[in-house]
Amino acid sequence: MLELRKDIFADERDDNLKEIGRGTQRQDMLGHVTGTSTYFDDHKLQGMLHLKVLRSPHAHARLRRIDTMEAERSPGVRRIIRGADVPRNLNTLLSLINFGKDDEPSLAVDKVRYKGEPIVAIVADSPREAYEAMAKVRVDYEPLPAVFDVEEALKPGAPVVNETYPKNTFVYHDVYDHQKLRFGDVERGFAEADHVLEQRYQMSPIEHAPTETNGSIAAPDTNGRYVVYTSTQALFFSLDTCAKILDVPSNTFHFIGGTVGGGFGGKVDTLTEPLAILGAMLTGRPVRYQLGREEEMQFGSPRGAERIYIKDGVMRDGRIVARKIRAYFDSGAYTRLSSYAVVKCVAHLPGPYTIPNVHGDVYCVFTNRTPATAMRGFGVTAMDFALECQMDKLAHLVGIDPMEFRILNAYRDGDMKAHRREAKNTALIECVQVAAEKAKWPLREEVKRMSSRKDGGGSRAAISPTPIEPAPQRAAVSQQRTIYDRAPAATIQPAPPTPTPPPPRPPAPSPSHGATRFSSVFGTRRR
Amino acid sequence: MTKTALQFRHNGRDVALFVDGGVNLLVALRELIGDMTPKFGCGQGGCGACSVLIDGELHLSCLTLAETVNGRAVETLDGLKDGPNLHPLQRAFMEQFAAQCGYCTPGMLMAAKALLDRNPSPSRAEVIEAISGNICRCTGYEPIINAVLAAASGGRARA
């Protein structure tokens, strides 16, 4: 049961908690227990067609020829959709916030880059007829060498996964093949440290496996609009993504969703809506596109794999004086949201601890695996696993109790964090103290008296001298911007690279308020 | 394609329909009868979201050929409440917070009903066994188990 510890930080709030700590019924509970909550697939529409997708059996292959002649004539087939039928067959999800280059087709045209990648969509009267037609599509594949390991993908001569990013890494700030954090001088810190510990950690991809698979039903509405029932977790994000891919104004769509049969991050990628809507546009009929369980596992994006190297310098008295991190996020064949996960990870370094010298290099790497996406704390989860394993090992190395070791190194109010923001409202010390108390874990009296609000700031608020590294040559600006005015198709193609002067420096930061809070995500691209 | 005539009781009402060969009970219920309470989760008998009762026994409708229920009685969540009155299991699920996304709930409730119909006062272990074929990915098993036990004991929660 929930226990409110109102004794902690009691002076920081009015004691007027009226809702927390008491039960409140969910507004959707009656629908759930009576089975009347309406999920996307619970809509039965007159004349509804079914869309199924032919997927690549190869992790990496050139598409020499796609022959749909026989499939077109298969009974019940209403329409076969190929890449050329998709108005803008290249997109990246975060182009909606001008982050990243369009790198992913809705239907593969020249190459497939992961097993399960969509190639041809078949719209038929029944799922069975769609599958029967699918068996008649002939695709001539030329298998290519594939790369499945993040560090292998960065070696010279590695297969190029995604030609939009020929070095197999996402490009940050138009220049860097990774996201950096520099705070103080870790090499000096290591030289001063009593012990240095370097370790390698990794995490496999994790499938969300929601009980309801991804899917959507799109139907022509009146006035040329389309109504879309969808499992999406991100209704307006999906709506805007569809508007971009289908090259129509976003008010073309009426998206209906919100009742989602489990998402956990696996339903933000707009996997099914664009093709379902395109099917409805091309046939004039409602079209249902629901992933099967195998498709959900193979094609539905997982939490991405990560490999993490941590090198720490620690003093005999337990102070961590340097932390150097190199990490590789496996984005799979396309960017989706992994570029953002990396930025979020770097902002989280070095964990909730005050360390005077921190150095982070985190790479978003392309491999021939299923593209990764959001999942519960992505970007931070695996890194925290690695950091906390490391904390236990360091505590053991210097012979200090692991709980006390965390309290000793925890952020306190007034400390400087590695991304140069003052730590405020910190509470790790109190959390560890309460956890220790609950676990009946003995802490020394002196440690029990420590507080997040005491002994912070001062020298802990200083930014240690940080060596400046030479910046790489800034390449021509390659980041395209998505403009939501309907542009003629010609302007959609990326311009040929021409030597351009470096972009103007971004304007000075405006006063801090909500709208600029996430500026570190967008770097120079913030408008 | 040849269609087969089929008659069965659906939540106490007689229904008659024609099905294509190979159509499973889940599709027949959802697409032909319009009872959307059984859910598709995997189509492979792995998740339990499509659970229904056939002559009082728990079955996975995705693995049941529609033709095989001819002349039998099929119960789904749609028939669980009595008019406007919720079944004790439904009330207990509400009170014990035993649903998050709600997608596994229809199958869970049918699995729980099958249990309580044959064993009105199950042990905790028996409840766990009874819902072991039903996957809840929001991982709310504890409140679900508590709800089934609460319904069995007439609304009193048991730890």
- Which CATH number is B116's domain given? 1.10.150.120
Distances (CA, A) of A298 to A55, A117, A526: 10, 9, 35
- The pLDDT tens digits of the residues spanning B4-61 come to 999 999 999 999 999 998 899 999 999 999 999 999 999 999 999 999 999 999 999 9
- Which CATH number is B71's domain given? 3.10.20.30
* Residue A13 binned pLDDT confidence (cut-offs 50, 70, 90): confident
pLDDT for B100 beyond 80: yes
Verify that B70 and B10 share a domain, yes or no: yes
Helix (H, G, I), strand (E, B) or coil at B151: helix
Helix (H, G, I), strand (E, B) or coil at A240: helix
User: Is B67 contained in some domain?
Assistant: yes
User: Is B158 contained in some domain?
Assistant: no
- The size of chain A, in residues, is 527
Domain containing residue B72: 3-78
Verify that B127 and B145 share a domain, yes or no: yes
Distances (CA, A) of A29 to A24, A44, B91, B95: 11, 23, 10, 9
Verify that B68 and B103 share a domain, yes or no: no
User: Which region among A311-325, A453-467, A503-517 has the lowest average model confidence (pLDDT)?
Assistant: A503-517
User: Is B159 contained in some domain?
Assistant: no
Residue ending a domain, among B51, B78, B105, is B78
User: Is B157 contained in some domain?
Assistant: no
Q: Are A208 and A291 in contact (CB under 8 A)?
A: no
Could you tell me if A209 lies within 8 Å of chain B, comparing CB atoms?
A: yes
Structure tokens belonging to residue A298: 């193979």
Verify that B71 and B94 share a domain, yes or no: no
Residue B80, min C-alpha distance to chain A (Å): 8
Distance CA A229, CA A507 (A): 42
pLDDT for A514 beyond 90: no
Q: Are A471 and A175 in contact (CB under 8 A)?
A: yes
Verify that B100 and B138 share a domain, yes or no: yes
Residue B148, min C-alpha distance to chain A (Å): 13
User: Is B11 contained in some domain?
Assistant: yes
Which residues of B fall within a CB distance of 8 Å from A35? 36-37, 76-78, 105-106
| Per-residue 3-state assignment (H helix, E strand, C coil) for A478-524 | CCCCCCCCCCCHHHHCCCCCCCCCCCCCCCCCCCCCHHHCCHHHHHH
- Average per-residue pLDDT for chain A: 90
Residue ending a domain, among B78, B108, B124, is B78
Which residues of A fall within a CB distance of 8 Å from B51? none
pLDDT for A476 beyond 70: no
Could you tell me if B10 lies within 8 Å of chain A, comparing CB atoms?
A: no
| Best CA proximity match to A269, nearest among A198, A354, A374, A384 | A374
User: Which region among A299-308, A498-507, B53-62 has the lowest average model confidence (pLDDT)?
Assistant: A498-507
User: Is B117 contained in some domain?
Assistant: yes
Mean pLDDT comparison of A274-283, A468-477, A502-511, highest-scoring range:
A274-283
Residue A159, min C-alpha distance to chain B (Å): 35
Verify that B72 and B134 share a domain, yes or no: no
User: Is B101 contained in some domain?
Assistant: yes
Q: What is the ipTM of this complex?
A: 0.96
Residue A271, min C-alpha distance to chain B (Å): 17
Could you tell me if A35 lies within 8 Å of chain B, comparing CB atoms?
A: yes
Verify that B73 and B92 share a domain, yes or no: no
Verify that B65 and B94 share a domain, yes or no: no
pLDDT for A520 beyond 80: no
Task: Say how many domains are in chain B.
Answer: 2
* Residue A15 binned pLDDT confidence (cut-offs 50, 70, 90): confident
Verify that B114 and B142 share a domain, yes or no: yes
Tokens 């306190």: give the residue: A412
Could you tell me if B3 lies within 8 Å of chain A, comparing CB atoms?
A: no
pLDDT for A122 beyond 50: yes
Which residues of B fall within a CB distance of 8 Å from A44? 30-31, 34, 36
User: Is B68 contained in some domain?
Assistant: yes
Amino acid at A128: R
Verify that B74 and B98 share a domain, yes or no: no
Distance CA A170, CA A366 (A): 8
Could you tell me if B46 lies within 8 Å of chain A, comparing CB atoms?
A: yes
pLDDT for A508 beyond 80: no
Contact A44 B77 (CB under 8 A): no
Which residues of B fall within a CB distance of 8 Å from A210? 101, 103, 137
Verify that B74 and B7 share a domain, yes or no: yes
- The pLDDT tens digits of the residues spanning A329-375 come to 999 999 999 999 999 999 999 999 999 999 999 999 999 999 999 99
Tell me the average pLDDT across B146-156: 86
Q: Parallel, antiparallel, or unpaired for β A179-183 and A287-290?
A: unpaired
Nearest CA in chain A to B86: A34
Verify that B25 and B65 share a domain, yes or no: yes
Distance CA B44, CA B46 (A): 5
Which residues of A fall within a CB distance of 8 Å from B76? 35
**Nearest Cβ partner of B99 from A32, A209, A263?**
A32
Residue ending a domain, among B57, B78, B99, is B78
* Residue A471 binned pLDDT confidence (cut-offs 50, 70, 90): confident
A·B CB contacts under 8 A:
91
Amino acid at A452: S
Domains of chain A in sequence order? 42-144+209-298 (3.90.1170.50), 153-206+302-461 (3.30.365.10)
Distance CA B122, CA B130 (A): 10
Nearest CA in chain B to A30: B94
Distances (CA, A) of A316 to A57, A184, A320, A405, B58: 55, 21, 9, 11, 63
Distances (CA, A) of B90 to A122, A293, B150: 41, 28, 11
